Amino acid sequence: MNDIPLSYSLALSAILFAIGVAGVVVRRNAIVLFMCVELMLNAVNLAFVALSPYAGVQGQVFVFFVIAVAAAEAAVGLAIMIAVFRHRESLDMKNFSLLRW
Amino acid sequence: MLLLQEAASAAVHAAGAAEFPPGKPWLGTEFHPVMPWLIVALPLLGFVLNGALSIIAARRALPKLPPVGDPSYDHHDDEPAVAHAAAPAHAYASVGAGDASEPSEQEGHDAGTAPHPVDAAHAHDVHDAHGHDDHAHDAHDDHAPAGPKPFTHLLPSFIAPGVMLAAFGVAVANFLRMKAAAPHAPWVHSYWDWMSVGDLHVGAALQLDQLSILMALVVTGVGALIHVFSVGYMKEDPGYPRYMAYLNLFCFFMLTLVLGASYPVMFVGWEGVGLCSYLLIGFWFKEKANADAGKKAFIVNRIGDFGFLVAMFLLFWNVGALDFVGVNEALEGSILPFAGPVITWIALFFFLGACGKSAQIPLYTWLPDAMAGPTPVSALIHAATMVTAGVYLVARSNVIFGLAPAAALVVAIVGALTALFAASIGLKQWDIKKVLAYSTVSQLGFMFAAVGMGAYASGIFHLMTHAFFKACLFLGSGAVIHAMHHALHSTHKPADAQDMRNMGGLRKYLPITFVTMAVSTLAIAGVPPFAGFFSKDEIVGAAWHGAAGGSPLSEFVFAGIPGSRWMLAIGVVLSIAAFMTAFYMGRMMLYTFFGANRTGDEERKHLHERDWTLKLPLIVLGLLAVVGGLVNVEENVPLVKSFNFFHQGEALHRWLDPVVEPGVRAAAEHARHIPPVDPEWWPIALAVAIGLGGLALAWVLLSRKPLGDAATEPAYQGGVEKALYNKWYVDEAYDAAVVKPVQGLSRGFARFDMGVLDWLVDMFGRLSQMFGVAFGRLQTGQLNTYAFVLVVGVLIVLGSFVAL
Amino acid sequence: MQITFTQILFFFFAACAVGSAVAMVTRRNPVACAMWLIGTFFSVAAIYTLLGAFFIGIVQILVYAGAIMVLFLFVIMLLNQGNDYEPDMRGTAWKIMAGGAALLIIAFLGRVFGGEIPRPLGMEAGPQALATSTAERGVVGLIGVPLYTDYMVALQATAILLLVAVVGAVVLAKRKV
């Protein structure tokens, strides 16, 4: 448990975060987009957990909260998507460009 | 003639030299003028009062409109003429419906008076067939509304001539004082300090010396008579108070010009008379041709003004002074070398200014067009006063021209050429005013020839006599046109009232006009003992005198030819011009007053003379044209002393001698010995022969051929006549050589401005627009893009911290 | 340097996590994406366990993989996203840009954390301190005791948050009756 170098975990966190960012940029389906956001959250959680031996148990406690909030956010977000789907019959982000110039 | 003048002045010098040092002005008895500023201020007062009256008249002429949009306004209380707001304007609009030659419709008509029923039914086709002079119409007296005249149209009749007569009185008083005091130095008084910048000190100063008081007398005297004439001529015109205001303003500026003590003050008057000329030529400005004539006069004048200004700049730069006394002193002190380039250029630029103002070649084209103004304006401005300002300038700058013989010869040559050229055009004009206009240009050429040859007093003498007879001729033509207009109007015949082909035999109907115009014609033709003979003979005599070697210019070589040869040529040219003058004046009198009447049977019944305001000035000027020359006759002519006011011969020469003498001396000092030339009899005989011969030839050639009226008689037959009739196509040449290139250049600049400069400015706008569009594309509305940009932004911000 | 078994396990699960993540991002079928994400979660949970955060690892599986992803799958089914799915990736340019951004992030983070990492509790408080606490309180108590003592307010707030979320979800998603 104590012989995994910190930098390895942080590197993995970075890689996962980057993949999540790429996914957010590239995917058009709203649900998949949201899943990529969850991936990013996970990457951050990993960073917290990796640092908690050095920063204290607060790291893990914070992860706990993050997971809870992610759950709440997922619920509300998906509810919104359902509501939006009822209007547009589509979840493709390219159809939701009212903020266009 | 001129020799005797030389002899006389030499005698005076000899007498004077014994007592006082020569070459310096010396004072006679003290000359205390009596309120000389009044001479200038009175016409200005007239302008202010008449101007106020014209503004009041114009305001009253506006149709009274009921308040717009107020439903509770009771329209029944309106005056019947006003109830339909457009009614008065409509009534008068129908008088000249679509008629471009009814210019003064809107002003001065009192909206309260009912429109004249005759006028309402008045067709305007009288003005349709205008021939080539459709812009030269004068009073439209029949179009004034009936009813009592308002005070705005009654008061100017008293204010304007009254002011001028008062000014004339003051001028006479000062003249008498000056005559009694006989000063030899000018009286200068600066009323306030106008410009003081560095070394330049110009005061608002008046100078009273023999020349300026003489000019003031001419301007106020002839001006007062013309004001009286204008009362009768223009009192029915709707713009009457405005006319009188402008006339007074003109006199104010002219008097400033002649009484000014320095070149800048003179220039104020110079420009002012140009302005008033524009205002008065284009008095009936609603007709485009009149407005164009006014513009042409002002613009051509302006070219001359440029010359005047450059001369002033050069003068100040090289001499350091701009007032006449200072300039004369400096130049007599040899601050500039004789016949050097500087003084010659100064003189030439002054002459350019004089060309513009006094209508010499090449800037004379405005004067014939200026006949579009009312006839009294033509008489005052373009015969007696404004056009003589150039001659006055040269006479006043006699020291400058004396020191620049090349320029003086140029002046004389140009004057002689102009005299000939204009006289030739006058041979074939049919409009009576145009004949007189070209005659004026020609006579001005005579005056310039005189002052160019150094005979300054002769030039001024001719100026004075010309004022008399030319004003008389113009006023007479005004009376003729007035009567013709009235006659043609009464039967609505569409014929040109100014065309001589429509006249004929008018001496039966307009006797006083005929007599005065006949006297003036004899004067201008140079028949003794009328005024023009003496003055014109002096000028031509000066040419012969110089040709024989008696003038300081005779020895001067100009363009390879000695001055004496030039002056011989000038003498010949002036003689031919005098012959032509006599011919065309005789022709004019013949066609107008003799022969069968071509006006038409019905119209003839309406030909008659008008009231005393039109007759009195003619009579006075005619008398002056008869006796005016006697003021300067030589000693040896019998009985002259008893008739002469001055009780001495050559009074004018003696009078002007203190003013003119510096220039004459300056020229004589640098000439070689001038041999005295014996007086000869043949110049006088030649002059008389020319005068009588021209008239006789006109009678012989033209009285036999019957003439049709304007509709039937062709304007010209043959090529030469066509060229003369078309003024040698000078206007067309100017148009092609100057006007069209300038217009083309302007168009080019306009294209550059619109195409290049505007394009540049627009490009900036379009660039920002393009940037805006390009950057706007960032707002895609897509969440993914926003997320991406967010990430990029975060990377940049945090990355910058790390990198730094 | 010696590679211990733990490290080998770590590398294995890391590879699984990254592979699942990449697969998740690139699948067309949303259901496939969800399954791959679950795979990622499992891998990450394993790594948590390897790092000594046992409770968090289990919670990850229970809540994330077991509840949140189930919710996702329910919604996918509800909205019928599992069939007749069109390709929903953005253009090639965007793929390149996304790839570039990802590489940049890795590089940046690598740069930052490549050097010395601050250790607020000192080198002494390393995994030993965590192990001591675990021995004292047990795996659950490791988180539970601080949660209910130091972070009580946050806990209650999170509870209210969850309540609000539930109510909000119901309100948002219900049909107008």
B563-582 pLDDT per residue, tens: 788 888 999 999 999 999 99
Q: A44 touching B, CB under 8 A? A: no
Q: A101 touching B, CB under 8 A? A: yes
Measured distance between the N- and C-terminal CA atoms of chain C, rounded to whole angstroms: 68
pLDDT at B437: 92
pLDDT tier for residue B603 given thresholds of 50, 70 and 90: confident
pLDDT at C117: 65
pLDDT at B784: 87
Dist. CA B5–CA B398, nearest whole Å: 17
Q: Higher pLDDT residue, A54 or B522?
A: B522
Of the candidates B583, B582, B466, the one whose C-alpha atom is nearest the C-alpha of residue B525 is B582
Residues pairing with B431 in the sheet: B499
Q: Are residues C50 and A4, on separate chains, in Cβ contact within 8 Å?
A: yes
Q: Using a CB-CB distance cutoff of 8 angstroms, which residues of chain A are in contact with residue B772?
A: none
**The Cα angle at residue B454 between residues B449 and B459, in degrees rounded to 5:** 55
Q: C62 touching A, CB under 8 A? A: no
Picking from A24, A29, A35, A92 by the largest number of B CB atoms within 10 A of its own CB, the best residue to mutate is A24
B4-44: pLDDT as tens digits: 444 444 444 444 333 333 433 444 456 778 888 889 999 99
* Residue contacts between B and C (CB atoms, under 8 Å): 18
Q: Using a CB-CB distance cutoff of 8 angstroms, which residues of chain B are in contact with residue C101?
A: 788, 791-792, 795
- Considering only alpha carbons, which residue of chain B is nearest residue A26? B784
* Residue contacts between A and B (CB atoms, under 8 Å): 37
Asked if the model's pLDDT at residue C94 lies above 60, the reply is yes
Alpha helices (H) in B594-607, listed in sequence order: 601-604
Q: Using a CB-CB distance cutoff of 8 angstroms, which residues of chain C are in contact with residue B798?
A: 108
Residues pairing with B260 in the sheet: B206
- Output the CA torsion sign for A69, A72, A75, A77: negative
Q: Using a CB-CB distance cutoff of 8 angstroms, which residues of chain A are in contact with residue C45?
A: none
Residues pairing with B58 in the sheet: none
pLDDT at A42: 95
C-beta of residue B104 within 8 angstroms of C-beta of residue B238: yes
Q: B799 touching C, CB under 8 A? A: yes
Least confident of A95-99, B75-79, B452-456, C162-166: B75-79
Q: Phi and psi for B68 in degrees, rounded to 5? A: -85, 135
pLDDT tier for residue B640 given thresholds of 50, 70 and 90: very low
pTM of this structure: 0.69
Q: Are residues C146 and A61, on separate chains, in Cβ contact within 8 Å?
A: yes
- In our burial notation (b when 16+ CB lie closer than 10 A, e otherwise), range B269-284 reads bbbbbbbbbbbbbbbb
Q: Using a CB-CB distance cutoff of 8 angstroms, which residues of chain B are in contact with residue A33?
A: 783-784
- In our burial notation (b when 16+ CB lie closer than 10 A, e otherwise), range B321-341 reads bbbbbbbbbbbbeeebebbee
Q: Higher pLDDT residue, B559 or C1?
A: B559
CA distance C113 to chain A (A): 7
C-beta of residue B298 within 8 angstroms of C-beta of residue B274: yes
A44-94: pLDDT as tens digits: 999 999 988 887 888 899 999 999 999 999 999 999 999 999 888 888 888
Q: C94 touching B, CB under 8 A? A: yes
Q: What is the mean pLDDT of chain B?
A: 80
pLDDT at B439: 92
**Average pLDDT of the segment spanning B37-66:** 88
Q: Please give the biggest Cα pair distance in chain A.
A: 54
Q: Are residues B798 and C108, on separate chains, in Cβ contact within 8 Å?
A: yes
**The Cα angle at residue B643 between residues B642 and B646, in degrees rounded to 5:** 85
B230-254: pLDDT as tens digits: 998 888 888 899 999 999 999 999 9
Asked if the model's pLDDT at residue B131 lies above 60, the reply is no
Q: Which amino acid is at B423?
A: A
CA distance A77 to chain B (A): 14
Of the candidates A25, A50, A8, C99, the one whose C-alpha atom is nearest the C-alpha of residue B783 is A25
CA distance B768 to chain C (A): 27
Q: Using a CB-CB distance cutoff of 8 angstroms, which residues of chain C are in contact with residue B780?
A: none
Neighbours of chain C (3+ CB pairs under 8 A): A, B
Least confident of B263-267, B356-360, C66-70: B356-360
B146-200: pLDDT as tens digits: 567 778 788 888 889 999 999 999 999 999 888 888 788 888 888 888 988 888 8
Picking from B773, B780, B783 by the largest number of A CB atoms within 10 A of its own CB, the best residue to mutate is B783
**The Cα angle at residue C119 between residues C115 and C122, in degrees rounded to 5:** 130
Dist. CA B127–CA B607, nearest whole Å: 19
Dist. CA B386–CA B430, nearest whole Å: 25
The structure tokens listed for B12 are 């005076």
Q: C65 touching A, CB under 8 A? A: no
- Considering only alpha carbons, which residue of chain A is nearest residue C111? A11
Percent of chain B with pLDDT over 90: 29
The structure tokens listed for B390 are 């150039």
Q: Using a CB-CB distance cutoff of 8 angstroms, which residues of chain A are in contact with residue C109?
A: 10-11, 14, 17
Show the domains of chain C with their CATH numbers: 1-82 (1.20.120.1200), 126-177 (no CATH)
Q: Are residues C126 and A53, on separate chains, in Cβ contact within 8 Å?
A: yes
pLDDT at A56: 80
Asked if the model's pLDDT at residue C121 lies above 70, the reply is no
Picking from B778, B780, B786, B795 by the largest number of C CB atoms within 10 A of its own CB, the best residue to mutate is B795
Dist. CA B548–CA B284, nearest whole Å: 51
Q: What is the 3-state secondary structure (H, E, C) of B1-18?
A: CHHHHHHHHHHHHHHHHH
Asked if the model's pLDDT at residue B319 lies above 50, the reply is yes
C-beta of residue B351 within 8 angstroms of C-beta of residue B272: no
**Average pLDDT of the segment spanning B510-537:** 88
* Residue contacts between A and C (CB atoms, under 8 Å): 246
Residues pairing with B399 in the sheet: none
CA distance A9 to chain C (A): 9
pLDDT tier for residue C1 given thresholds of 50, 70 and 90: low
Cβ-proximal residues to C89 (8 Å cutoff; 6+ apart), any chain: A26, A27, A28, C26, C28, C95
Q: What is the 3-state secondary structure (H, E, C) of B646-685?
A: CCCCCHHHHHHHHHHHHHHHHHHHCCCCCCCCCCCCHHHH
C-beta of residue B679 within 8 angstroms of C-beta of residue B542: no
Rounded (10°) CA dihedral B416, B419, B420, B423: -170
pLDDT at B76: 62
Tell which phi-psi region holds residue C122, choosing left (phi > 0), alpha (psi between -120 and 50) or beta.
Answer: left
Least confident of B64-78, B349-363, B376-390, C154-168: B64-78
pLDDT at B22: 40
Dist. CA B263–CA B302, nearest whole Å: 17
Q: Are residues C104 and B795, on separate chains, in Cβ contact within 8 Å?
A: yes
**Average pLDDT of the segment spanning B702-710:** 72
- Considering only alpha carbons, which residue of chain C is nearest residue B794? C105
Q: Are residues A101 and B784, on separate chains, in Cβ contact within 8 Å?
A: no
Of the candidates B506, B505, B500, B507, the one whose C-alpha atom is nearest the C-alpha of residue B713 is B500
Q: Are residues A26 and B781, on separate chains, in Cβ contact within 8 Å?
A: no
C-beta of residue B189 within 8 angstroms of C-beta of residue B212: no
Q: Are residues B784 and C94, on separate chains, in Cβ contact within 8 Å?
A: yes
pLDDT at B676: 66
pLDDT at C177: 60
Q: Using a CB-CB distance cutoff of 8 angstroms, which residues of chain C are in contact with residue A79?
A: 168-173
pLDDT at C118: 63
Q: Are residues C108 and B791, on separate chains, in Cβ contact within 8 Å?
A: no
Q: A18 touching B, CB under 8 A? A: no
Show the domains of chain A with their CATH numbers: 6-95 (1.10.287.3510)
| Cβ neighbours of B114 (radius 10 Å) | 14
pLDDT at C124: 52
Neighbours of chain B (3+ CB pairs under 8 A): A, C
Q: Which amino acid is at C62?
A: L
Closest Cβ–Cβ partner in B776, B787, B788 for A101: B776
